[in-house]
């Protein structure tokens, strides 16, 4: 009897291990037209650290799409759908985590909120176990309003938003309010998303020249984001107010609740291996 029970246990563990090996993760960038998001948006250090949380660390993909477009455009949602479905098919994915950053969360929400409008969407919805949204721009940002109106936005901040792209227009506060109320799920007084959508909130920017933590991800970005905080609430990551980041789904945690040294994550640092963010995500998946 003991031998039989041991054999059954080993069989169950083998079956479970095989199933878990079909888990995957997709890294989905934010605003911008990416052709090498692995290096230019996330960095290999971040990607390679996070994917070690998978039973099979080779089952990951890094998305490269044109998220300068409106979220519903073929170059945005269509491109994302094509690449995710290819990932599912090529790697035999049965369950996946979608790790998004910034405006990438809006493109993902478009797919999850509108599964019947495109034949490519249902497979993604059914295979998505959860969305981890790093600093999602769910309710937009006053910076998009300022950039579109042309009364602020220095040349040195071009890396943050671009200038007059459709994605920037889309992230204006009033525009996102319209999209959320009519086309997107997950925000207040709207239907829930069909998949878990949990956000990590960036709450501040540190740019003190004497503080070594200000250099994680690049000191110049911290200085730029400290400047843009002048147009935002005190609780912000330099690009998005905390209320916007928390606007859809549920809040997983606010940076200082779990980061090493209780350090805040700027909008740039929330896509880098800063203050154990990569380890926190790795352990979760």
pLDDT tens readout for residues 132-190: 999 999 999 988 887 777 655 544 445 455 557 899 889 999 999 999 999 999 999 99
pLDDT of 232-270, one tens digit each? Answer: 999 999 999 999 999 999 999 999 999 999 999 999 999
Residue labelled with tokens 């949204």? 133
pLDDT tops 50 at residue 14: no
- Going by C-alpha positions, the residue among 76, 59, 138 that lies closest to residue 101 is 138
**57 CB contacts (<8 Å, ≥6 apart)?**
51
Mean pLDDT of 2-9: 44
- Residue 43 neighbours by CB distance under 10 Å: 17
Give the integer Cα–Cα distance in Å for 183 and 190. 10
Mean pLDDT of 34-55: 97
pLDDT of 77-90, one tens digit each? Answer: 999 999 999 999 99
pLDDT of 36-45, one tens digit each? Answer: 999 999 999 9
Find out whether 93 and 55 touch, Cβ atoms under 8 Å: no
Tokens describing residue 64? 């490269």
Find out whether 193 and 109 touch, Cβ atoms under 8 Å: yes
CATH 3.40.50.1820, applies to 24-284? yes
Give the integer Cα–Cα distance in Å for 108 and 113. 9
pLDDT at 160: 56
Find out whether 96 and 24 touch, Cβ atoms under 8 Å: yes
Give the integer Cα–Cα distance in Å for 233 and 212. 25
């Amino acid at each position: 009897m003991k031998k039989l029970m041991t054999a059954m246990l080993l069989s169950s563990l083998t079956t479970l291990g095989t199933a878990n090996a079909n888990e995957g993760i997709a890294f989905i960038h934010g605003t911008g037209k990416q052709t090498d998001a692995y290096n230019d948006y996330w960095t290999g250090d971040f990607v390679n650290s996070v994917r070690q949380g998978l039973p099979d660390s080779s089952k990951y993909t890094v998305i490269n799409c044109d998220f300068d477009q409106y979220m519903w455009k073929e170059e945005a949602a269509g491109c994302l759908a094509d690449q995710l479905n290819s990932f599912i098919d090529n790697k035999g994915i049965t369950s996946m985590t979608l790790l998004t950053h910034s405006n990438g969360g809006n493109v993902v929400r478009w797919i999850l909120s509108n599964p019947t409008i495109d034949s490519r969407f249902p497979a993604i919805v059914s295979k998505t176990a959860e969305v981890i949204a790093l600093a999602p721009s769910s309710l937009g940002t006053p910076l998009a309003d300022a950039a579109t109106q042309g009364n602020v936005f220095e040349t040195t901040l071009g890396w943050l938003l671009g200038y007059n792209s459709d994605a920037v227009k889309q992230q204006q506060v009033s525009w996102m309010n319209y999209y959320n109320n009519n086309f997107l799920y997950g925000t207040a007084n709207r239907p829930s998303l069909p998949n878990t959508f949990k956000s990590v909130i960036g709450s501040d920017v540190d740019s003190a020249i004497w503080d070594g933590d200000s250099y994680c991800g690049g000191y110049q970005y911290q200085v730029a984001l400290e400047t843009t905080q002048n147009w935002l609430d005190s609780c912000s990551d330099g690009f998005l107010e905390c209320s916007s980041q928390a606007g859809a789904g549920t809040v997983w945690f606010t940076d200082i609740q779990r980061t090493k040294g209780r350090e805040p994550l700027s909008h740039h640092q929330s896509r880098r291996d800063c203050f154990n963010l990569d380890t926190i995500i790795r352990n979760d998946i």
